[in-house]
Amino acid sequence: MNRGRSRQKIFHSAEYFDAFLKTVEVAHTRFGVQVLSYCLMSNHYLLLVKTPEANLGRAMRHINGVYTQRYNRLKKTDSWLFREYLGLKRIGSISNTIAKLRALIEEDKKLARTVAKIKSGYDT
């Protein structure tokens, strides 16, 4: 999981999503990263990957660095895009993987409910 710096948007349109997915595809080819699941949201992304070559750090540096360059070209800007990595974790077994995925999904649902409550408070 990785978020935009100060929770800023990292995906503004389909063009940005496509640029990110192309970056992940290159990481697959270059580092052998196997993407098992992903979720892209406007200000962060979740990736569940398998790295048979034990090179997760290198692959994530590549994904974040190259996508930042592509983002800056699309946005016509020059700045840092991501804050620190939020979750480079070895999960292990299938049951642990499923449990971790459920926890991440629940965390996002809680965040969405909190944002909705805050927005409804401003609407009154």
Residue 85 shares a structural domain with residue 95: no
How much of the chain exceeds pLDDT 90, in percent?
A: 32
CA 57, 14, 107, 84 torsion-angle sign: positive
Residue 11 shares a structural domain with residue 37: yes
Determine the average pLDDT of the residues in 46-61.
87
69-104 confidence digits (pLDDT tens): 999 999 898 888 887 655 555 666 667 767 777 777
107/93 Cα distance (integer angstroms): 21
E strand residue ranges, 7-109:
34-40, 44-50
First to last CA, the chain: 34
Which residues are within 8 A (CB) of 73 and not within 5 positions of it... i.e. 6 or more apart?
Answer: none
Residue 63 shares a structural domain with residue 114: no
117/98 Cα distance (integer angstroms): 29
Residue 25 shares a structural domain with residue 83: yes
Q: What is the pLDDT of residue 124?
A: 45
Q: What is the pLDDT of residue 105?
A: 72
Cα→Cα distances 98→34, 35, 80, Å: 17, 15, 32
Q: What pLDDT band is residue 7 in, cutting at 50, 70 and 90? A: confident
Residue 80 shares a structural domain with residue 103: no
Residue 63 shares a structural domain with residue 106: no
54-72 confidence digits (pLDDT tens): 888 899 999 999 999 999 9
Model pTM?
0.69
10 in Cβ contact with 86 (< 8 Å): no
Residue 96 shares a structural domain with residue 79: no
Domain that holds residue 35: 2-89
Give start and end residues of each alpha helix (H) in the chain.
Answer: 14-31, 56-75, 94-123
Residue 23 shares a structural domain with residue 76: yes
Residue 56 shares a structural domain with residue 104: no
